[in-house]
Amino acid sequence: MTIRTSQLCKTYNEESDFPVHAVKSLDLTIEQGEFVAVMGPSGSGKTTLLNMLGGIDKPSSGRVLIDDCDISELPEKSLIAFRRDHIGFIFQDYSLLPVLTALENVEFVMQLQGHSEKECRKRACALLEQVGLSEQQNKIPAKLSGGQQQRVAVARALAPSPRFVMADEPTANLDAQSTAELLDIMQQLNEKEGTTFIFSTHDPRVIKRARRVIVFEDGQLTEDRCQ
């Protein structure tokens, strides 16, 4: 699957005297299997871009095409199903369901997809083992460290076997060791399973690992380089 944007724009407070142009006329292509860092200062439009690429936010104008399907034009029900089946999200604040255990958080999206209880349990256990949390699987998020919660969030994002993972500042709350371990996990999954990772970040540790770096300033792409 390829993500392509065409003249993508997002403006907040369009009707006011002080509109905010978060993303401006962006043309961008991201191929299946890339490991991409979108960097830039706070307020540059990184998170807005990821939210539009992932179908969380609708553009003010322009298009987001995934294999030539304009997801911004999909009816809400179809868009929800598309996100569920093809796009994983890793949020800066983890966004785990607080009343569910680590295992149940990972199983949740697969249950929405209609997989059997046995299938959900098997894949969730395997993913938690992969991120080093087998022994913590029955703990609720409040009983886990920040680094452990982020690992659960990674496992949850990968549970439905998405083609793309959107990671919004995934290392912002992590120490150096947790960041290195988390990036190792995501890099291995990218290389072994071909999962595309798109990060919004200003963390040099993430930027160093990326194979492609996109620089964003004031809602505009100012640099796009491979490394």
> What's the Rg (C-alpha) of the chain?
17
The ranges assigned to domains in the chain are: 33-60+72-226
- Please report the pLDDT score of residue 52 as a whole number: 94
- Please report the pLDDT score of residue 60 as a whole number: 94
Cβ-contact 27, 61 below 8 angstroms: no
Tell me the pTM. 0.87
Mean pLDDT by 10 residues, the chain (227 residues): 93 83 94 94 88 93 91 91 90 90 94 93 92 93 91 90 90 82 86 90 91 93 93
- Please report the pLDDT score of residue 55 as a whole number: 92
- Please report the pLDDT score of residue 136 as a whole number: 95
- Please report the pLDDT score of residue 25 as a whole number: 94
- The kind and range of the H/E element at 128 are helix 117-130
Q: Which of 32, 36, 22 is nearest to 199 (CA)?
A: 36
Q: Which of 87, 106, 88 is nearest to 97 (CA)?
A: 106
Rounded distance between C-alpha atoms, residue 150 and residue 84, angstroms: 19
33-60+72-226: CATH class: alpha beta
Provide the β-strand partners of residue 153: none
- Please report the pLDDT score of residue 226 as a whole number: 93
